[in-house]
A and B are shown apart, each in its own frame.
Chain A
Amino acid sequence: MTLPLLSVTLATLLIGTVLTFVAKEKARYVALATSVVFLLEVAALLAAYTVWPGPVNGSPGYANLESYSWIHLSWLSINYTVGVDGISLVMILLTAFLQIATVVYSWEETKEPGAFFGLLMLTCLGCFGVFIALDVLLFFLFWEAVLIPMFFLIGFWGGPRRRYAALKFFVYTHVASIVMLVGLLALVFYSGAKSFDFSAIYVAAHGLSPTVQTFLFLALFFGFGVKFPIVPFHTWLPDAHVEAPTAGSVLLAGLLLKLGAYGLIRWAVEILPIGMSHLTPLLYVVAFASIVWGSVIALAQRDLKRLIAYSSINHMGIVLLAIAVYSQLGLLAAVLLMFAHGVVSALLFMASGSVHHTFGTRDISKLGGITPVAPILATMLMVGSLASLGLPALISFPAEFTALLATWDRLAYWVLIPLVLLVVTAAFYLWMMQRVLFGPQRNIPEKAHDIPWFETAAMGILVALVIVYGILPGFLVNVIVNSPVYGFPGFP
């Protein structure tokens, strides 16, 4: 028996989180140390994965698999089952990077630092759990464990309308969670799996009739989709972002949106491909609606954070589209884009948070010519914007390129919709940069100066990722295509 690396990592995060809560003023050191250890463990996981021999033929086996019986009844067995594949590993890598960047960015948080850093850690812990859980109950526990710290981060450390935003966030995602849970439970009981274990469900679900599969997929799609978020269930996102503290926005956009996409791939697409095939037109419509709506509304925004939030809706729409085309290329693109969007949106939210601290507003119509005052901040915002609009050699390009290529492959000229919207996306980012970064200086406070070292460092990490993975996406690609799903029978 090899080292139970996943459980060790989980334990690290758990202990780190608890220590952070109790460390009060010293919380940031504990949080940073935990994050670094976490990143090293993730590196070990990735290293182990590259030599992993792959699943046994026909089974959806996962690497680093651990399974312990938890609750065992005659009609149901619940296990502590964890394991990873390429898709979850890429998401875990994203979690580790964003955790470090967020902790560093919030280095001088003074309002209840113990609780603040503790909640950040708890959010990341929950995300990690979601990405490794291969048991319905475990998955759901972690899923909820993400929701609640985020609720408090928005509600306690947020902006003026934080109560409203936190509640809206909570209600939306909670309703979705319930639908998702009902869907998952129904999946277990209908398929007769008698187990909450992913592999058991996967095998049992083959016996389901197409109609049942379709209904189950629909429930799961709604449950996961609100987290994406999909139009028209997206309005919680801009409000949550505007009111959330910067660190909260970063985790929200960088990680929480990915949970929805990851959940859809893991628990719906992999298990219920036939159900999905019956709902493909719906998925396309929703994806196109999100792409168009997110981009078009973003063009009308004046608040920097709202603009980025709507741009996120557009990008997650492309993720959904890439999942919906259901091909090897499409899935690869979806996961790459999830990673890319995680990094880029984190960078952009950090930059807009720094704009807010430095210049006292995020209103694009009031800002102007900040480049000479804060050249480093301006550079960060520019790199983020250029990456987000899909500039080649930056992280989003390989992802968007493969996503659109996969779309063309399946949908032919419908690909013109996302392509045209790429122009609109470029338009609002360019317009924002013209107003905020360039032109004559407007409303610059007397004491405005460039950002402090820890904000530079946090964004520097992300900029490095944007460039490194933009130039060398091959590493991520190799990890992703090594996932068991690529060997599933019938996966085109």
Chain B
Amino acid sequence: MAVSFGIVGLLGTRLKKLEYGGWIAVGFAAAAMIVGLLVAAAEMLSPGSYTDQSFTWLHLPGSPGTFPNGFSLVMGSLVDPISALMLLVVTVVGFLVMLYSIGYMHHDHGLPRYYAELSLFLAAMTGLVIADNLLEFFLFWELVGVCSYFLIGFYYEKPSAASAAKEAFLVTRIGDVLFLLGIFLYFTVYATAGGGAGWAASGFKFVSGSTPFLAGAMGGNTPLLTVAGLMMLAGAAGKSAQFPLHAWLPDAMEGPTTVSALIHAATMVAAGVYLLVIASLFLGFTPDDRLAIVAVGGFTTFFAATMAVVHPDIKRVIAYSTISQLGYMVLGVGAGFAMVGMYHLFTHAFFKALLFLAAGSVIHAVGTQDLFKMGGLRKPMRVTAIAFAVGALSLSGIPPFAGFFSKDDVLSSVYTAAQSNPAYWPFLILAYATVFLTAYYIFRAWFLAFSGDKSRDPTLPAAHEGPWTMQVPLYVLSALAIVAGVLPFTPSFGSLFSLGGATSVPPTYGTTDLVLSSVSVGLGLGGILLARALWGNGRVYVLAPDSALQPMRTILLERYYIKAGYDWVGLRIVYGGSRVADFFERYVIDGTIHGFERLGTKLSNGLREGQTGLVSDYASYVVAGVIGLLILLLFVAPLIIASLGGP
């Protein structure tokens, strides 16, 4: 299988730790991209096709218990419309980021490690995308997590980077164990239900069909199915940084900007959404699950956007924006339109990678991430300024940029769902409010960095554009950030969004849609205008020290104290608890037993004095000891047995 070749090829770069290993990695990434494009093209030529190849990883023959027909775990590759689409995103962005790295990273030490880890990440991500069952999905899911751990901690000598890497691993781990519980639920509960026994024997594969497999097998709505769905949500929340497991993503910005663009914007964090899409298409969510998903997505969307509004760090603004946009995708899936979530995932991957890479160009040029030190970069960095603006317009949902189409599709899908379930209304309102905030914070960043005459910090070096390797990805991603939204309107590309029955991808733009879109575009434009009024032309808006908004600003800058709260729980409760337990261990458990030990010491004095170091002596002790013990027991044991009542 061509895709497997792609994986092996990517792993190959781990072996080639050469000085110019970067170009080898780029070459393999290019090869993977070509494979990805071919797979997507093949899928478009025969819409809806479903190619599955697998081998058995672990097999247990049938047992009378839970798995009457046996139990298999398989590893396989599944190419269907959504995996082809996701593969396209991963390989294209992966290649562009690899290429960009050549220019961006050339000052750094440890480049072989960087390219090897990035290649391993791409391989693992490819594996995740084409996994044909939940366990394999989980396996690659953890592997991309560990690659993310390595890459966040790339500058491992920096304590903040080492700490951020640990935090990212741990927080996602919380989601992961719940995800694992969800897998157990699916594996055991459904293995005994309906056609589930065969499902267990054949390796719990994702099964193609018009209705989700388990919904069909179980009648679609049982408490256990709800719990399983919630566990999927927990896993997705960890990976996609949804509230309350969101705290790690802003700190993950300690990694190189390229890593942020690829892993923490376009691909890995979107894996959580991809999981929800897969779960909703193949396994099925109950109505309660969907409400929970909408609640998490809707709240996170707004919540993350508020923190982006005040942050002075260009990368972290974009990171909060990522959390917020992932919330939109989750919202779309939760509203019952999985492919709408995929649509936003697809466009977001391009415009968010673009924003990160443009920010990377800025950081590369001026050596700081502090927006308040920048300024006036429009003139020396025209390409970057335009690229960032394209990304920002797309993010703000201004037509005809890509973000407009997909974000409006999300909004209208929630609107549609709200018609039948009024509980969705609050989250629709939050989602609309976020449109305004989004446009405001991203253009605040643009104006702060690019507008005005000169930088606010005179010590910054004179800015310049990066080399061609950094500019080409900006051009390509800018183009994609403009056209990706309309691609699904073409019939062949649209077929990639067709899996799973009736969804409204691409949007149809009836009267209701037009009204909804006008509102969101109006909000977006309002946000841009407000940003321009406060920050345009090199202005810096300073909040009065006695302003009623100051406490609000502090709370936002402190991230609602949630990170501090987690740290407190980790340090005081968990670590403190373990110190107390350790004290108990040393002085109570061991102390009680010390009495026995003293007794033992006295009894064994002879043995200790006998430590002559001569092996023959020891050997004779061994023999004598064993024989003595045996004699003792052969006589004592019957007595004990007799005292117990006799045989």
Supposing A156-B613, A235-B593, A393-B139 touch, asked if A299 and B65 sit within 8 A by C-beta, the answer is no
Which chain A residues border B60 with CB–CB below 8 Å?
328-329, 332, 477, 481
In whole angstroms, how far apart are the Cα atoms of A438 and B162 in the complex? Answer: 6
**Contact indicator per residue, chain A 474-492, by CB within 8 Å of chain B (1) or not (0):** 1001100100001000001
In the complex, which residues 439-484 of chain A have their Cβ closer than 8 Å to any Cβ of chain B?
Answer: 439-441, 472-474, 477-478, 481
Q: Which listed residue (B578, B597, B626, B641) contacts A141, Cβ 8 A?
A: B626
B582 A144 Cβ-Cβ under 8 A: no
Which chain B residues border A155 with CB–CB below 8 Å?
611
Chain A residues with CB under 8 Å of chain B are: 21, 112, 114-115, 118, 141, 144-145, 148, 152, 155-156, 163, 167-168, 170-171, 178, 181-182, 185-186, 189-190, 192, 215, 232, 235, 293, 296-301, 327-329, 332, 369, 371-372, 386, 391-393, 397-398, 401-402, 404-405, 408-409, 415-416, 419-420, 422-424, 426-427, 430-431, 433-434, 437-441, 472-474, 477-478, 481, 486, 492
B181 A297 Cβ-Cβ under 8 A: no
B170 A427 Cβ-Cβ under 8 A: yes
B633 A181 Cβ-Cβ under 8 A: yes
A144 B626 Cβ-Cβ under 8 A: yes
In whole angstroms, how far apart are the Cα atoms of A327 and B161 in the complex? Answer: 45
A434 B600 Cβ-Cβ under 8 A: no
In whole angstroms, how far apart are the Cα atoms of A391 and B641 in the complex? Answer: 48
Chain B residues with CB under 8 Å of chain A are: 56-61, 63-67, 71, 73, 135, 138-140, 142-143, 146, 153, 156-159, 161-163, 165-166, 169-170, 173-174, 177-178, 180-181, 184-185, 187-188, 570, 574-575, 577-579, 581-582, 585, 589-590, 593, 596-597, 600-601, 604, 608, 611, 613, 615, 618, 621-622, 625-626, 629, 633, 637-638, 640-641, 644, 647
Supposing A300-B581, A437-B156 touch, asked if A156 and B611 sit within 8 A by C-beta, the answer is yes
In whole angstroms, how far apart are the Cα atoms of A420 and B173 in the complex? Answer: 10
Q: Which listed residue (B58, B173, B629) contacts A477, Cβ 8 A?
A: B58
The residue in chain B whose Cβ has the minimal distance to the Cβ of A299 is B578
Given A148-B621, A167-B597, 13 additional A-B pairs, CB 8 A: A144-B629, A148-B625, A192-B647, A299-B574, A329-B66, A401-B135, A422-B173, A427-B574, A430-B170, A438-B162, A473-B57, A474-B56, A481-B61
Supposing A393-B143, A439-B159, A440-B159 touch, asked if A420 and B640 sit within 8 A by C-beta, the answer is no
A182 B640 Cβ-Cβ under 8 A: yes
Which chain A residues border B63 with CB–CB below 8 Å?
327-329, 492
In whole angstroms, how far apart are the Cα atoms of A423 and B566 in the complex? Answer: 14
- Considering the complex of A and B, which 7 residue pairs feature the smallest CB-CB distances, nearest first? A438-B162, A171-B600, A300-B582, A392-B139, A299-B578, A438-B156, A408-B184
A404 B180 Cβ-Cβ under 8 A: yes
Supposing A163-B608, A167-B604, A423-B173 touch, asked if A327 and B65 sit within 8 A by C-beta, the answer is yes
In whole angstroms, how far apart are the Cα atoms of A377 and B169 in the complex? Answer: 22
B162 A434 Cβ-Cβ under 8 A: yes
In whole angstroms, how far apart are the Cα atoms of A453 and B134 in the complex? Answer: 41
In whole angstroms, how far apart are the Cα atoms of A404 and B187 in the complex? Answer: 12
In whole angstroms, how far apart are the Cα atoms of A438 and B615 in the complex? Answer: 45
A186 B590 Cβ-Cβ under 8 A: no
Q: Which listed residue (A141, A145, A182, A420) contacts B633, Cβ 8 A?
A: A182
In whole angstroms, how far apart are the Cα atoms of A89 and B647 in the complex? Answer: 35
Supposing A235-B589, A392-B138, A419-B180 touch, asked if A296 and B577 sit within 8 A by C-beta, the answer is yes
Give, as a whole number of angstroms, the nearest-CB distance from B607 to chain A. Answer: 8
8 cross-chain CB contacts under 8 A: A171-B600, A296-B577, A299-B575, A300-B575, A419-B181, A420-B177, A474-B56, A492-B64
